[in-house]
């Protein structure tokens, strides 16, 4: 079925409930972490250390979720002996053809446990910097880099996407990758990857502008992101947009790592280059407009020097 064609009503309705399953799973880890803290004598931790407990719970949730997804993909691939990307369905199918075009010095924003790392083994990639703010995922991320033969190329950074965090973290690697930026504000990366991450970065408008500034002339931003439902358009869904609002009210962002379902990520990305005359080219496609998790996917290219 085309990602643009809405499924039958019954399937569409079940699709509206899929985020509830994710949220229930994330909630269970949060309550588990809170319970452990209380039992260990930290009775007030759920009130006084909410941020720490949320981070720990989200780390556990994401490891479990990512592991389950990898096992499902591996099982499907083994059963059919077809190429991995042919077996992927839904939004996951948007990622392989995009990431396999990455080259040069790469910034991987919010890589999580590194589930997309098998797509980054191209010899055209010289170095990868993974900016992952959740320290609970770093062990898995480093292990994945070693398993994929990227141990010497992949640098794990404990930071978010904001320049105020990212530049010091790059400097700490000792690779000199941030020298050009520190010297004259020049670009650092040939490719920046944003896969299911801009939904959760703080101050998205500022972050997208800063990511733009970190691209070298001619550099490319590769994007696969879920966005606010385009319910006012023919391909959008009013019901799915209402579902997004309900999930947000029920605490989606709190339990799912500050993820926001209803961000106009495409608008922010397009505006990121306004101060520099705009992008050289923008090729973004929309998919799953009938869903509470519709996607944009494609490439934005910075003007050459």
Which pLDDT tens digit goes with each residue over 120-131? 999 999 999 999
Tokens of 139: 């062990």
Which pLDDT tens digit goes with each residue over 109-119? 999 999 999 99
Q: Which of 69-78, 170-179, 205-214, 249-258 has the lowest mean pLDDT?
A: 69-78
Number of residues that this document lists for the chain: 305
Given a cut of 60, whether residue 84 has pLDDT beyond it is no
Give the residue from 61, 27, 20, 54 showing the smallest Cα distance to 246: 20
Q: Across the strands, what pairs with 154?
A: 128
C-alpha separations of 147 from 121, 125, 140, 227 in Å:
11, 17, 10, 32
Given a cut of 60, whether residue 177 has pLDDT beyond it is yes
Kindly give the residue spans of alpha helices, DSSP state H, lying in 120-162: 138-147
């Amino acid at each position: 079925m085309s990602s643009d064609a809405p499924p039958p009503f019954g399937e569409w309705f079940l699709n509206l409930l899929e985020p509830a399953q994710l949220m229930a799973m994330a909630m269970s880890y949060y309550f588990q972490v809170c319970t452990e803290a209380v039992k260990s004598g930290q009775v007030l931790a759920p009130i006084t250390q909410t941020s720490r407990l949320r981070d720990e719970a989200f780390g556990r949730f994401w490891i479990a979720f990512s592991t389950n997804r990898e096992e499902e993909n591996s099982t499907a691939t083994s059963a059919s002996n077809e190429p991995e990307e042919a077996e992927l369905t839904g939004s996951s199918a948007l990622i392989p053809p995009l990431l396999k075009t990455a080259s040069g010095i790469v910034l991987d924003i919010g890589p999580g446990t590194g589930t997309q790392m098998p797509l980054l083994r191209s010899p055209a990639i010289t170095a990868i910097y993974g900016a992952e703010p959740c320290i609970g995922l770093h062990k898995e991320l480093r292990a994945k880099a070693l398993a994929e033969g990227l141990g010497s190329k992949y640098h794990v950074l404990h930071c978010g996407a904001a320049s105020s965090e990212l530049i010091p973290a790059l400097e700490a690697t000792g690779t000199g990758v941030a020298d050009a930026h520190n010297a004259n504000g020049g670009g650092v990366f040939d490719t920046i990857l944003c896969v299911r991450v801009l939904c959760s970065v703080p101050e998205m408008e500022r972050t997208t502008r800063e990511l733009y500034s970190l691209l070298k002339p001619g550099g490319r931003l590769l994007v696969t992101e879920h966005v606010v439902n385009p319910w006012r358009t023919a391909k959008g869904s009013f019901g799915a947009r209402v579902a997004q609002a309900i999930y947000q009210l029920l605490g989606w962002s709190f339990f799912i790592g500050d993820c926001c379902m209803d961000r106009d990520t495409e608008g922010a990305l397009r505006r990121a280059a306004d101060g520099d005359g705009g992008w050289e080219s923008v090729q973004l496609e929309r998919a799953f407009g009938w869903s509470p998790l519709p996607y944009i996917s494609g490439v934005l290219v910075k003007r050459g020097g």
